[in-house]
Amino acid sequence: MTDEKIDDVDKAILYALQEDARNMSSGDIAERTGTSDSTVRKRIQRLESDGVIKGYSASVDYQKSGYPLRMLLYCTAAIPERGDLVSDILAIDGVVSVQELVTGEQNLLVTAVGETDSDVTPVAQELLDMGLTVADEVLVRSHETTPFGKFNSKTQTGDDS
């Protein structure tokens, strides 16, 4: 709940951990920020307990791991709302992400991954069982992410070499 008190050192930490959460040590980040590793470690702990850092995750190439199908499912919640609707959707096997959209109708964007269509069909079924209407399904050909540029003090173009 202690929002907004993110200074440049915090941003540099967030950027570094977005670049490589597994191999970036506190000492490495300390060099970048001109602080000490113990300071960095304390900052990280604070960012974690404040919920600014939600976790650390490996980004997997699902295509190469044998799950070439990535699907976007646009859903409409028929029932007004339930508290843990998002959690329930995340628990569906094959779902990797849920986003609440601020459009009137299609207010949930669910991303599902699978081997074939027959993996995604039951996901859609489970969503229906929850009282959701699947308004549209879109296949994703590729998906790439990048660290957030505004956490990087040096350049604002995404290039930090």
Partner DNA sequence: GATGAAATATATTCTAT
Partner DNA sequence: ATAGAATATATTTCATC
Which residues would be at the binding site for DNA (CB under 7 A)? 9, 25-28, 34-39, 41-43, 46
**Which residue stretch of 31-39, 75-83, 127-135, 149-157 sits at the interface with a second copy (rule: CB under 8 A)?**
149-157
Distances (CA, A) of 119 to 16, 32, 93: 36, 44, 9
Nearer residue to a second copy within complex by CB, 36 or 65: 65
Min dist. Cβ of residue 3 to a second copy (A) = 5
Among 8, 36, 42, 51, contact with a second copy (rule: CB under 8 A): 51
Closest distance between DNA and the C-beta of residue 47, in Å?
11
Query: Mapping DSSP to helix (H, G, I), strand (E, B) and coil, where does residue 15 land?
Result: helix
CB 160 within 8 A of CB 152: yes
* Residue 4 near which of DNA, a second copy, none (CB within 5-8 Å, type-dependent): a second copy
Q: Are 136 and 66 in contact (CB under 8 A)?
A: no
Q: What is the token pair recorded at 101?
A: 């959209």
**Sites for a second copy among residues 87-146 (CB under 8 A):** 90-103, 109, 113-115, 119, 138-146
* Tokens 């669910």 -> residue: 110
Amino acid at residue number 18: Q
